[in-house]
Amino acid sequence: MGSVRTRIPPSPTGYLHVGNAWAAFFNWLFARRQGGQVVLRIEDTDPTRSSPEYERAIYEDLRWLGIDWDEGPDVGGPYGPYRQSQRAHLYREAAEALLRVGAAYRCYCTPEEIEQERRRALAERRPYRYSGRCRTRSEAEVRALEREGRRPALRLDVGQFHDPRWVTADGWLQARREDGRDRLYVVVHDLIRGEVAFGLDELDDFIVVRSDGTALYNFANVVDDHGMRITHVLRAVEHLSNTPRQVLLYRALGWEPPQFAHLPVLVGPDRRKLSKRHGDAALREYRDELYLPEALRNFFALMAWYPEDGREIFSTEELVQRFDLTQVGRASPVFDRQKLLWMNGEYMRRALREDPERVVDLVAGYLARHGLLPESLLPEQRAYVRRVVEVLGERIKEGADVLRYGDFFFLETPRYEPQAVASYLQGEQAAAVLKLAQQVVREVEPFAAAALEAALRRAAAERGFSMRAVVHPVRVALTGKTVGPGLFELMEVLGRERVLRRLEHAVAVGAAAGSAV
């Protein structure tokens, strides 16, 4: 009994998509749980949309997420090649085998003819199925069609399966009594959904190889999964309806099909399949927004599966240990950004505790991407970012929070929010408070949070100001906003000179806003 092998089959037509990343993660979890292998297969059969750049980006995104693979185009392996574009000869061989055993036949019908048949079926309100016309063409007919320049497609002869000898003990083809007659069913044994039966007579002779010689998705998949010794195919439900066709192909080729598990589809808030239209469908956008891979993994695990009642935070090791495919849910989960944000906050706080330098790197990178810092930092610049991160602390749940709470640390002059100015910088009292603060700031020693707080409290008490009445205007003067880190910590990081400059500038800002009203 060979070990478990799963596959991750991305198309290099864009960046790794969140939905695919999630499915990839489940494939990875399952394989690791079983002590098996993960195979990465690049499905680049569409040359117009595939590119090596995207292929590299997918490796990068997958690795960033913490998903590794044992075989793939970049790492090699005994069952390659691992790019579909390099496997055409294998599809051709399999097609020839099908022809050789009489399981498939050449079809000379043109797309126009097929379309016509389909229209007629639709008009007569009956389900369209290919007529099977080409199954019985005479040699003379074929020669004539070839002379016309027609190139044949290859169709699987599904009729061959209407034969009791296929009904065997393993139960993939079952005869069921229905309305007094036997009907044959192709039965998919799905690890998540149980037995799903498809009437054999619902299936027509489907195309396996196009007239231009290229393999159809279903066919390439079967050849690849078998060739790569895949034992467990974990993929989205949208492939469930294709599975009976694939099972037929396995049988026609004399191969044992793998086990199937059809995962639900991740959907957006509108309950439609997650796509670019939802924005942030690319995994790397989350990376850019400072989402941590371990947070994503934990969050992904909780979509359609719960490791244990009551708990939500799990290390990846725990997830691997507990993963149980049979407990995976069948309904489509909505990808909930808010809960992800919460979870990222949990992991961000943990990172702050356990590896603050990592957070410093992330924040520095984020600031650089937003033009507030250069790409590479001088030691003192980095030290400054470290101080900012300390002061921002657990307020950072995602990248945007860095700017939301701390952009003023990196701006020459804060961006004054009009609402904050109107509320706290205008008027006589605000001006008086700012003057008072200037005085305190000029004199306080040392220029540190504790001393600042003590001095400002004392000064406020002497003048009969409440602490609130002092803190709010000063905060707006220094940061431009009403939210943010503790005032005294923030002053310490800013330093005496800048604080004084901003305090002074804020008096002018308040006056200008007042006169503009």
Partner RNA sequence: GGCCCCAUCGUCUAGAGGCCUAGGAUACCGCCCUCUCAAGGCGGAGACGGGGAUUCGAAUUCCCCUGGGGCCA
Minimum CB distance to RNA smaller for 55 or for 453: 453
Closest by alpha carbon to 265, among 16, 26, 10, 12? 26
User: How many residues sit close enough to RNA to count as binding (CB under 7 A)?
Assistant: 68
Of the candidates 273, 276, 397, 435, the residue annotated as catalytic is 276
Minimum CB distance to RNA smaller for 69 or for 198: 198
In the complex, the smallest distance separating the C-beta of residue 346 from RNA, rounded to whole angstroms, is 7
| DSSP character string of 435-496 | HHHHHHHHH-SS-SHHHHHHHHHHHHHHHT--HHHHHHHHHHHHHSSS--S-HHHHHHHH-H
Measured CA to CA, the distance from residue 109 to residue 319 in angstroms comes to: 52
Minimum CB distance to RNA smaller for 199 or for 279: 199
Measured CA to CA, the distance from residue 300 to residue 322 in angstroms comes to: 14
Q: Are 380 and 402 in contact (CB under 8 A)?
A: no
End-to-end Cα, the chain, rounded Å: 81
Q: Is residue 338 a contact residue for RNA (CB under 7 A)?
A: yes
Among 117, 312, 318, 417, binds RNA (CB under 7 A): 312
In the complex, the smallest distance separating the C-beta of residue 50 from RNA, rounded to whole angstroms, is 19
Q: Is residue 135 a contact residue for RNA (CB under 7 A)?
A: no
In the complex, the smallest distance separating the C-beta of residue 94 from RNA, rounded to whole angstroms, is 19
Q: Is residue 193 a contact residue for RNA (CB under 7 A)?
A: yes
The DSSP H or E segment spanning 153 is: strand 153-156
Q: Is residue 306 a contact residue for RNA (CB under 7 A)?
A: yes
Measured CA to CA, the distance from residue 5 to residue 228 in angstroms comes to: 9
Fill in the amino acid letter for 19. G
Q: Is residue 237 a contact residue for RNA (CB under 7 A)?
A: yes
In the complex, the smallest distance separating the C-beta of residue 266 from RNA, rounded to whole angstroms, is 9
What is the longest distance spanned by two Cα atoms in the chain? 111
In the complex, the smallest distance separating the C-beta of residue 375 from RNA, rounded to whole angstroms, is 28
Say whether 397 is catalytic.
no
Tokens of 206: 């489907």
Q: Are 43 and 9 in contact (CB under 8 A)?
A: yes
Among 100, 126, 147, 181, binds RNA (CB under 7 A): 126
Site string for RNA, 424-463 (x = CB under 7 A): -----------------------------x----------
Q: Is residue 327 a contact residue for RNA (CB under 7 A)?
A: yes
**3-state SS class at 37:** strand
In the complex, the smallest distance separating the C-beta of residue 143 from RNA, rounded to whole angstroms, is 27
300 vs 47, 162, 290, 507, CA distance in Å? Answer: 31, 43, 16, 50
In the complex, the smallest distance separating the C-beta of residue 353 from RNA, rounded to whole angstroms, is 11
Cβ neighbors of 456 (< 8 A, separation 6 or more) are: 437, 440, 470, 471, 474, 488
Interaction with RNA in 246-265: which residues (CB under 7 A)?
262, 264-265
Among 2, 35, 78, 310, binds RNA (CB under 7 A): 310
Minimum CB distance to RNA smaller for 98 or for 302: 302
Site string for RNA, 464-503 (x = CB under 7 A): ---xx--xx--x------xxxxxxxx--------------
Among 70, 93, 146, 202, binds RNA (CB under 7 A): 202
Q: Is residue 241 a contact residue for RNA (CB under 7 A)?
A: yes
Minimum CB distance to RNA smaller for 31 or for 302: 302
Minimum CB distance to RNA smaller for 293 or for 485: 485
| DSSP character string of 414-446 | ----HHHHHHHTSSHHHHHHHHHHHHHHHH-SS
- Sign of the Cα torsion 481, 482, 485, 489 reads positive
In the complex, the smallest distance separating the C-beta of residue 468 from RNA, rounded to whole angstroms, is 5
Measured CA to CA, the distance from residue 492 to residue 446 in angstroms comes to: 10
**3-state SS class at 284:** helix
Measured CA to CA, the distance from residue 483 to residue 476 in angstroms comes to: 9
The catalytic residue positions are: 276
Q: Which residues bind RNA (CB under 7 A)?
A: 118, 122, 125-128, 193, 196-199, 202, 204, 206-207, 237-242, 262, 264-265, 271-273, 302-306, 309-310, 312, 327, 329-334, 336, 338-339, 341-342, 345, 349, 393-395, 397, 405, 453, 467-468, 471-472, 475, 482-489
